[in-house]
């Protein structure tokens, strides 16, 4: 087990800079998820930790050792790939033991480790099968087993669940989390799926265009996004953004064509007249049928309704703009109904329209 | 007709169209492959010489063949082409493809250079090589040997060197095709297999032996079959590189196909030639079946 520390790592392919100087400290035993849209540099960062890509600049430490110049095999890491990378011509047993054979372990020790991993992953009955006889989830388990038997200090996962269907993905997600709780090994996990990031991570690192946008615990990122990008990326459906302008007086924002919100308190370096976005999550935007006051109270016309069972997503038009609200599943609404969308002051976010940085914490 | 067609189910309509489209290739297959095969079988049981009518003589041609020392020599020559040519060409083309796959610089150009001989007319190439093998001052190989202080070699005029001298251009000409097929096979192996192996610390040799070669099995199978058939049917190089196209000296380079050609179109012994053709057909069939069995994935 070990901590991982990245300082100022840069990756350039020819002229394109893919990773712009990332600093990140991962504690021993921590589960860290790198998340972001495709092309944000998350996979490249992971591959640099693995040693599959060279660093252009910066330094990587695993435990106390600087590893940037070490071969992948000498870094004491194991990696699980998106397409599993298990060999079709070998049995499950051979696949799991393949890396061990190179370590020249005594045969009984090798068998013991394979057995142990197979038991934890529920692969005991499948050891003599070939990958073609396995389901996607089982294949992914074999790939994890191959990583496990090496007793690495750090597990690296590169979008391991992307090739699975939704149901299996949820199941494997749970298994990976359990596995981490059992083994307690440091994990660096890359995904583009914010749900995976939220559910698995001790800490999430949101990346964008080769830079870290925000680092924090899942609830922190959800509750206190530092930028519009993070606010939109984390949470589903995305946060509603209503354009507006900072009004005279403390904590007031004039929303374009909808009215004014007040009582927002101190806004950071906000001068009257500055363009902003008021953000509110669908979960925090309640549907009220009677007129009522509140810091945010908007009259809306119901458009599309998506019943999800326990709750219903209501797409409603406010001043020519569509907002999404989450309502109780038992609500009865119809297209064209006029409702009020209400939110508490604590759930409102204000972002600078130009820098996209949050102005209210 | 129209009414009949409209009354069919979708599946039946598709079958009708499938047969319509298959009719032409099927006709050619029967007229150009299947019928001649049957006809050859019949001719091989006659003493036909183009002039007199075909007399049925039973297995006499096959008996004569069994007792013909030239047939056995030619038969053995054919297998020499196969047993020497096929492994050498496969190993060479794999080595070229394996290293070429790791080269990014000018890869397309190098690949094209290997492929050009495959596109060249066999007869022209054979004659150029025949020239290369001439004595000083014409042949380039002997010029090089003499320059380096070695004695001249007879090459095509020697009973021991001629077969190898003909094999060399044959292997060279087929190399480009095999390299391209091997490259395609190598490309089809996902990069992550190698990355996973790198993380596990697997050595180059083990990766080659345990990952690359097993995953190339279908490619290797295809090339073994195709190149075996190619060497068993060798003709044009021998015909163009030996005196009067006779497969000399002393029949040491004459393959079965050339022997059949000589019997049929120089000696007009159609029945006997047909009998040898049947033997070649059975050999090709056997070799292909054995190889498909041996290399079939479990």
Q: Quick check: A251 and A267 in contact, CB under 8 A?
A: yes
Please report where in the chains the tokens 């190989």 appear, as a residue: B141
A81, A88, A99 ranked by CB distance to B192: nearest? A81
SS3 B49: coil
Residues B116, B190, single domain; the answer is yes
Name the average pLDDT for chain A: 90
Identify whether residues B27 and B144 lie together within a single domain. Answer: no
- CB-based contact B263:B278 (threshold 8 Å): no
Task: Let me know whether B28 and B152 are in one domain.
Answer: no
Query: Can you tell me the distance from the alpha carbon of A322 to that of A302, in angstroms, rounded to the nearest whole number?
Result: 9
Q: Residue B25: which domain range?
A: 1-33
- Residue B56 inside a domain? The answer is no
Residues B5 and B99 in one domain: no
Asked if A99's CB is within 8 angstroms of B192's CB, the reply is no
- According to DSSP, residue B117 is labeled H
The alpha-carbon gap from B190 to the nearest alpha carbon of chain A, in Å, equals 8
- What pLDDT score does A201 carry? 95
Element (H, E) at A297: strand A296-307
Model confidence at A361: pLDDT above 70 = no
pLDDT along chain B (298 residues), means of 10: 88 93 94 92 91 88 93 94 96 94 86 88 92 91 93 91 93 92 93 91 89 92 90 92 87 93 92 94 89 71
B129 and B27 share one domain: no
> Which of A72, A87, A146 is opposite residue B198, by nearest beta carbon?
A72
Give B202's contacts in chain A (Cβ within 8 Å). 98-99, 102
Shared domain for B21 and B142, answered yes or no, is: no
Closest among B243, B195, B246, B209 to B70, alpha carbons compared: B246
Q: How confident is the model at residue A291 (pLDDT cuts 50, 70, 90)?
A: low
Checking DSSP bridges between strand A65-66 and strand A311-318, what pairing results, if any? unpaired
Q: Which residue of B lies nearest to A81 if distances are taken between CA atoms? A: B192
- What domains sit in chain A, N to C, each tagged with a CATH number? 4-232 (3.40.50.300), 238-352 (2.40.50.140)
Q: What is the CATH number for B213?
A: 1.10.3720.10
> Residue B264 and residue B256: Cα distance in Å, rounded?
12
Task: For B270-290, write each residue's pLDDT tens digit.
Answer: 999 999 999 999 998 998 888
One-character DSSP codes across B92-111: HHHHHHHHHHH--TTHHHHH
Q: Give A245-285 pLDDT, tens digit per residue.
A: 988 777 788 888 788 888 888 777 778 888 999 999 999 99
| Pair (B138, B6) in one structural domain | no
**Chain B residues within 8 A of A102 when measuring between CB atoms:** 200-203, 206
The number of distinct structural domains making up chain B is 2
Please report whether residue B44 resides in a domain: no
Rounded to whole angstroms, the Cα distance separating A28 from A185 reads 7
Provide, as residue numbers in chain A, all residues whose Cβ is less than 8 Å from the Cβ of B217.
89
CB contact under 8 A, B206 and A102: yes
Question: B40 lies in a domain?
Answer: no
Residue A312 CB: number of other CB atoms within 10 A? 19
For residue B199, the chain A residues in CB contact (below 8 A) are: 50-52, 72-73, 77-79, 99
Question: Is the same domain home to B137 and B192?
Answer: yes
DSSP letter at B55? Answer: P
Parallel, antiparallel, or unpaired for β A154-158 and A186-191? parallel
Q: What is the pLDDT of residue A293?
A: 63
Q: Is B264 part of a structural domain of the chain?
A: yes
**B58 lies in a domain?**
no
Q: Is B238 helix (H, G, I), strand (E, B) or coil?
A: helix
DSSP annotation of B53: P
Q: What is the pLDDT of residues A184-233, one digit of tens each?
A: 999 999 999 999 999 999 999 999 999 999 999 999 999 999 999 999 99
Strands of the sheet containing A57-62, edge to edge, are A16-26, A4-13, A57-62, A65-66
Measure CB to CB from residue B199 to each of A78, A82, A87 and give the nearest one.
Answer: A78
Q: Which residue of B has its CA nearest to A99?
A: B200
pLDDT at B297 (0 to 100): 58
Q: Residue B220: count other Cβ atoms within 10 Å of its Cβ.
A: 17
Q: Any idea which of A29-33, A105-109, B234-238 has the lowest mean pLDDT? A: A105-109
CA–CA dist A66, A59 (Å, integer): 7
Those residues whose C-beta lies under 8 Å from the C-beta of residue B14, and which sit 6 or more positions away, are none
The strand pairing partners of B11, in sequence order, are none
């Amino acid at each position: 087990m070990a901590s991982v520390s990245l300082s100022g790592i840069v990756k350039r392919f020819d002229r394109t800079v893919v990773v712009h100087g990332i600093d990140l400290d991962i504690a021993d035993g921590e589960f860290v998820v790198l998340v972001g849209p495709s092309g944000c540099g998350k996979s490249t960062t992971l591959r640099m930790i693995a040693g599959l890509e060279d660093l252009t600049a910066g330094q990587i430490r695993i435990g106390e050792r600087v590893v940037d110049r070490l071969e992948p095999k000498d870094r004491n890491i194991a990696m699980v790939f998106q397409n599993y990378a298990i060999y079709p011509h070998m049995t499950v047993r051979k696949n799991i033991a393949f890396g061990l054979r190179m370590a020249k372990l005594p045969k009984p020790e090798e068998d013991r480790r394979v057995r142990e991993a197979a038991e934890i992953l529920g692969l005991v009955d499948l050891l003599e099968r070939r990958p073609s006889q396995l389901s996607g989830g089982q294949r992914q388990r074999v790939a994890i087993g191959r990583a496990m038997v090496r007793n690495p200090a750090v597990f690296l996962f590169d979008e391991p669940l992307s090739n699975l269907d939704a149901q299996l993905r949820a199941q494997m997600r749970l298994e990976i989390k359990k596995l981490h709780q059992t083994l307690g090994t440091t994990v660096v996990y890359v995904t583009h799926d914010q749900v995976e990031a939220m559910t698995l991570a001790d800490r999430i690192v949101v990346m964008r265009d080769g830079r870290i946008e925000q680092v924090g615990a899942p609830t922190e990122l959800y509750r206190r996004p530092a930028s519009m990008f993070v606010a939109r990326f984390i949470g589903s459906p995305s946060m509603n953004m209503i354009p507006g302008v900072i009004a005279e007086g403390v904590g007031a924002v004039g929303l374009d064509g909808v009215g004014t919100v007040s009582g927002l308190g101190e806004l950071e370096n906000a001068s009257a007249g500055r363009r902003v976005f008021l953000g509110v999550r669908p979960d925090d935007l309640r549907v009220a049928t009677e007129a009522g006051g509140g810091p945010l109270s908007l009259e809306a016309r119901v458009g599309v309704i998506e019943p999800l069972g326990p709750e219903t997503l209501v797409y409603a038009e406010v001043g020519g703009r569509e907002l999404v609200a989450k309502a109780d599943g038992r609500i009865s609404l119809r297209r064209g109904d006029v409702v009020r969308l209400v939110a508490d002051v604590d759930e409102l976010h204000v972002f600078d329209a130009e820098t996209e940085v949050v102005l209210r914490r | 007709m129209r009414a009949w067609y409209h009354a069919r189910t979708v599946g039946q309509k598709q079958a009708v169209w499938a047969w319509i489209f298959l009719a032409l290739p099927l006709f050619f297959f029967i007229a150009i492959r299947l019928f001649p095969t049957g006809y050859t079988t019949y001719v091989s049981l006659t003493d036909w010489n183009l002039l007199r009518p075909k007399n049925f003589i039973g297995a006499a041609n096959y008996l004569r063949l069994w007792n013909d020392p030239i047939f056995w020599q030619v038969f053995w020559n054919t297998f020499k082409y196969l047993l020497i040519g096929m492994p050498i060409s496969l190993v060479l083309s794999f080595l070229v493809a394996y290293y070429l796959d790791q080269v990014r610089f000018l890869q397309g150009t190098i690949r094209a250079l290997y492929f050009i001989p495959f596109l060249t007319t066999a007869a022209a190439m054979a004659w150029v090589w025949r020239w290369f093998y001439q004595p000083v001052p014409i042949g380039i190989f002997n010029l090089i040997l003499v320059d380096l202080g070695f004695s001249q070699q007879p090459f095509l005029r020697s009973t021991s060197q001629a077969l190898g001298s003909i094999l060399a251009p044959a292997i060279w000409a087929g190399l480009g095709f095999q390299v391209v097929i091997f490259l395609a096979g190598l490309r089809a192996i996902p990069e992550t297999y190698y990355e996973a192996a790198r993380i596990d610390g697997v050595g180059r040799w083990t990766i080659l032996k345990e990952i690359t070669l097993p995953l190339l099995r279908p490619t290797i199978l295809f090339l073994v079959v195709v190149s075996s058939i190619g060497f068993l049917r060798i003709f044009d190089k021998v015909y163009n590189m030996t005196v009067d196209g006779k497969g000399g000296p002393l029949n040491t380079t004459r393959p079965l196909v050339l022997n059949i050609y000589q019997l049929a179109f120089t000696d007009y012994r159609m029945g006997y030639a047909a009998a040898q053709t049947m033997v070649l057909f059975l050999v090709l069939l056997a070799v292909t079946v054995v190889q498909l069995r041996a290399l079939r994935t479990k």
